[in-house]
């Protein structure tokens, strides 16, 4: 099963991906949330809670900058699923809805969100995933009970949670597998241009799909390679 992962800026590397070659774009781009952060929360009685994202979220991410390349690389039968923060949902809709037959979204309910110790406002217990496709897209409809656009799972914990370096937005493989099962068949190509520590690749590997991943940060990329157990030859193949 070929796996191609690249430590590079996806804005450049995506240009090497052949036209109409991807069955599923499943990705988790930057959120542009850092400007809203009030910094880490400090407590006298417990370790501080990380309220910051990371340097990579300080760069502006604009969905419209990705529209043309996403449309170019994905097959007519393909699907696109992108994790999305609340502040960008309107931009995703404004840009992508006119370009696809269908624009919908899923909600991931996190069953173990960080507690609100100060009891001000709601817990941050959900994430949005926008999804787009055209008529005749691939769609493996499971049982009615499995096809809700609402899915529940804890955030990554225990042995699944990567350390050294940890990634603040590592996604649970279970959620990614659920989407991959619905939107692809074995041997299809899954593409993640913002792969972080490679969670989409791990899910694709478990389900016997092909995977192409890009990550700009060398530390995250190294972890992704390890998680995917790639040899140098596999991981350095040119696109
Ligand atoms: C939200 S995180 C993805 C986390 C991933 N879902 C996981 O489970 O590890 C977004 C990632 O995109 C990377 N990134 C940001 N800009 C990028 C770019 N232009 N090209 C490639 N990767 C980029 C960041 O370094 C970060 O790891």
pTM (global) more than 0.95? no
Number of domains making up the chain: 1
- What CATH number is associated with residue 53? 3.40.50.150
What's the distance, Cα to Cα, between the start and end of the chain in Å?
A: 15
Choose which residue among 26, 30, 226 to substitute to test ligand 1 binding: the one with the highest number of ligand atoms within 8 A of its C-beta: 30
Taking the C-alpha atoms of residue 7 and residue 178, their distance in angstroms, rounded to an integer, is: 26
Taking the C-alpha atoms of residue 95 and residue 86, their distance in angstroms, rounded to an integer, is: 15
E strand or H helix that includes residue 199: helix 199-206
Q: State residue 212's pLDDT score.
A: 96
pLDDT band for position 22 (cuts 50, 70, 90): very high
Q: Which segment, 43-47, 73-77, 225-229, is predicted with the most confidence on average?
A: 73-77
Read off the pLDDT of residues 134-182 as tens digits, 9 standing for 90 and up.
999 999 999 999 999 999 999 999 999 999 889 999 999 999 999 999 9
Q: Closest ligand 1 atom, CA of 197?
A: 9
Residues near ligand 1 with C-beta < 6 Å?
9-11, 28, 30, 56, 167, 169-171, 194, 196-197, 199, 214-217, 220
Report whether 215 contacts 195 (CB < 8 A). Answer: yes
Taking the C-alpha atoms of residue 225 and residue 152, their distance in angstroms, rounded to an integer, is: 28
Q: State residue 48's pLDDT score.
A: 66
- State in Å: Cα 144 to ligand 1 middle: 33
Per DSSP (E only), the strands in the chain are: 3-7, 22-27, 74-84, 102-110, 126-133, 150-153, 189-192, 210-215
Q: Closest ligand 1 atom, CA of 31?
A: 1
For 99, the domain range is 3-235
């Amino acid at each position: 099963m070929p796996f191609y992962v690249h430590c590079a800026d996806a804005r450049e590397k995506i240009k090497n991906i052949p036209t109409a070659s991807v069955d599923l774009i499943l990705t988790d781009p930057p959120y542009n949330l850092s400007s809203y952060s009030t910094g880490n929360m400090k407590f006298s009685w417990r370790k501080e809670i990380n309220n910051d994202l990371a340097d990579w979220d300080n760069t502006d991410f604009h969905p419209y900058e990705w529209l043309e390349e996403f449309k170019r690389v994905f097959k007519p039968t393909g699907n696109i699923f992108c994790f999305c923060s609340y502040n960008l949902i309107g931009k995703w809709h404004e840009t992508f809805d006119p370009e696809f037959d269908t624009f919908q979204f899923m909600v991931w309910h996190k069953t173990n969100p960080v507690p609100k110790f100060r009891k001000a406002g709601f817990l941050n217990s959900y994430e949005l995933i926008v999804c787009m496709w055209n008529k005749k897209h691939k769609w493996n409809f499971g049982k009615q009970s499995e096809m809700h656009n609402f899915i529940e799972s804890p955030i990554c914990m225990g042995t699944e949670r990567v350390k050294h370096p940890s990634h603040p937005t590592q996604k649970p493989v279970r959620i990614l597998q659920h989407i991959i099962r619905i939107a692809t068949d074995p041997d299809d190509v899954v593409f993640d241009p913002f792969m972080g520590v490679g969670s989409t690749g791990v899910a694709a590997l478990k389900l016997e799909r092909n995977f192409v991943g890009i990550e700009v940060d060398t530390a995250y990329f190294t972890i992704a390679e390890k998680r995917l157990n790639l040899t140098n030859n596999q991981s350095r193949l040119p696109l």
